[in-house]
Amino acid sequence: MTLLGPGDRFPRLYVHTLDNADLDLPGSLAGSFAVVLFYRGSWCPYCNAQLRAFQRAQDKLTDAGIRIVALSVDDAPTTAQLAAKLELEFPIGHSADPREIAELTGAFVNPDPAYLQSTGFVLDTEGNVVVSVYSSGAIGRLVPEDVLGLVRYLKEHSN
Q: What would the pLDDT profile of 139-154 be if each residue is shown by its tens digit?
A: 999 999 999 999 999 9
Cα–Cα distances in Å, from 104 out to 3, 62, 91? 9, 27, 20
Reported confidence tier of residue 21, pLDDT bands at 50, 70, 90: confident
Residue 28 clears pLDDT 80, i.e. is over it: yes
Q: Whole-model pTM? A: 0.96
Q: What would the pLDDT profile of 41-57 be if each residue is shown by its tens digit?
A: 999 999 999 999 999 99
Spatial contact of 13 and 105, defined as CB atoms under 8 Å apart: yes
Query: Which of the 8 DSSP states describes residue 40?
Result: -
Over the chain, what is the mean pLDDT?
96
Question: What fold characterizes domain 13-156?
Answer: Glutaredoxin (3.40.30)
Beta bridge partners of 35: 68, 122
Q: Which residues of 82-118 are buried (b: 16+ CB within 10 A; e: fewer)?
A: bbeebebebbbbbebebeebbebbbbbbeeeeebbbb
pLDDT the model gives residue 80: 97
pLDDT the model gives residue 12: 96
Reported confidence tier of residue 20, pLDDT bands at 50, 70, 90: confident
Domain boundaries, given as residue ranges, for the chain = 13-156
